A and B are shown apart, each in its own frame.
Chain A
Amino acid sequence: MKPPSRGNRGMKNSKISLKCHKIVGGYGEGEALVSHEPICFYLTDPKTGIVREKDHELAGKNLANKVLVFPSGKASSVVQIDGLFKLASHNVAPKAMIVKDVETVLIVSAFLVKVPLVDRLEKDPFEIIHTGDFVEVDAEKSQVTVTKRDTK
């Protein structure tokens, strides 16, 4: 599925701007993919970005080029970093990541592949952002902008 381009939003265009806390800088935008469970990048298909972890909420979903919203990372440092690195080398890493609880391994993973990573949204990201919304993460300006899918 192609994320809506920036020019597409408009019609009823209800945009929500939220302050956030920058961890890894940069800008990334795309369709939101929300997971309420922690994510291990090693348990995704490195060539496509499809989540392979059985019983995971996102099993079978594709995180390539999405803005990923999830509570935290999980698994050993080696596998987590290698997992995201492999996705990035196939150009199927997420465009940006919004998390609730950050830990060192996730920071290192995002830093290595230069994917913007933010936390501490001024509102609960799980209430504001839903899968399919269009999200712009401007880590440098500590700002997240959400365009609701149902307003188009």
Chain B
Amino acid sequence: MYLTKEEERMCNGELGKGMQEAINLLIAIGDAYDAEKMIPISRAHAASSGQEGDLYFVELLADGGARCRVPTSTNPVYDIPFFHRLFEILKYEADVARRVMEAYKRVGAILSWSCIPYMAENIPLYGETVAFSESSATPYVNSVIGARTNREAAQSALAAGVIGKTPEYGLHFKENRKGTHLVKVEATLKDEFDYTLLGYYVGKQIGYGIPVLTGISKQPNTEELINFCAMSNVPGAISMFYMPRFTVEASTVEEAFQGDIPEDKISVTDHDLKQVYGELQTTSGKIDFVMLGCPHYTLKQVEEVAGLLQGKKIHDGVSFWVCTSATTKTLAEKTGYVDVIEMAGGHVVVDTCIDEPCWAVYTDKVGMTDSPKCAYYRRFKEVRLGRLEDCVETAVKGK
């Protein structure tokens, strides 16, 4: 791969050990894909996770004096003091999380701790070259926004944020952004929940590829698209998709396939979505807690929860959680939604995700969620799956 004078200096360690590690990782990736050069990026999103591998690399960069050259946001970890008040957290795990969060701060990242940073803290525009990890953020910025990113790992995205560049390969080229699978949606998509099932089904059917979805009659809203992105990357690896007319990069099916429309197509029926639902739900009985906000809830979804809980009380035996970003919670507090949820006995919690060790207390419990992703990676015993309103209703009734 061709390196500029400055890149060579980084590579030789002249700009510090942190920069050297970062560029060496990008060079390994570039070499693997036969990239000819590095290209500048305008922003990055590092899917920090608070686990040991994450800690190792971010500390390596921070200790080596690296600082992000472009805005670089972070994925959920967890608010240690907040969870310490509620649950027991192993000292070792809390130490790892604390060190991860401190190291991202030292490296100059935007401490968004959110899996949907493209909504508020770090928003790419159409055509921007970026490096976004987080399997649900990658397809959103590629498809809904029309920015260009490869499917990055947390570390390659962080390295790109530190260097301000990424190797030029894959989805940075238009010819690699063409559709691979034609998906005919025959199912009725009523709401956000149906889009979670659609995403899961499409990801499972295709595995790896760029689906082009037709047959969707109504413009999906932001939350529906966020859900589609997140869920299609649970059983599959979908870094980009097209819904011609509704996503920005192609207005027709022909354009999405760059003229190369495949003969085979996959169809999705109501029956298929029902089956996905049946596969993911392991119980329909009594629950111990409700977990909403995987991916993080938007302000609109927090408002919806507050609306449904207005004047109601969550059942004594049920804990009720809504995960969102600090930005959204601040606004939800100002607007009064958080008060309503807390009055009803629920919690709005920031900076975290069900996949974090702070939820270990639920290992033997039964949870209900509106997220197939949360159900799939479940860290609890049994899972009930339902629409947002069903989750709230069940929380109030206790069963």
Contacts and interface: CB of A to CB of B under 8 A. Distances in A.
Contacts of A105: 151, 153
Interface stretch (A2-10, A82-90, A126-134, A144-152): A82-90
Given A76-B135, A108-B25, A82 B153 contact: no
A22 B27 CA distance: 11
Interface in B26-70: 28-29, 31-32, 47, 49, 51-54, 56-57
B154 interface: yes
The main secondary structure of chain A at its interface with chain B is helix
Contacts, number: 71
Given A77-B154, A104-B152, A108-B153, A82 B28 contact: no
Central interface residue in B32, B52, B135, by most chain A CB within 10 Å: B32
Given A77-B153, A78-B54, A78-B154, A22 B49 contact: no
A104 B156 contact: yes
B70 to A, nearest CB: 19
Given A22-B31, A77-B135, A107-B28, A85 B155 contact: no
Nearest to B207: A74
Contacts of A111: 24-25, 28, 155
Contacts of B31: 21-23
Contacts of A86: 52-53
B52 A108 contact: no
A78 B28 contact: no
Interface of A: 21-25, 76-78, 81-82, 84-86, 89, 102-105, 107-109, 111-112, 119
Interface of B: 24-25, 28-29, 31-32, 47, 49, 51-54, 56-57, 133, 135, 150-156, 233, 355
24 contacts: A23-B31, A25-B28, A76-B233, A77-B135, A77-B153, A78-B49, A78-B154, A81-B53, A81-B154, A82-B51, A82-B52, A85-B53, A86-B53, A89-B52, A103-B151, A105-B151, A105-B153, A107-B29, A108-B153, A108-B155, A108-B156, A111-B24, A111-B28, A112-B56
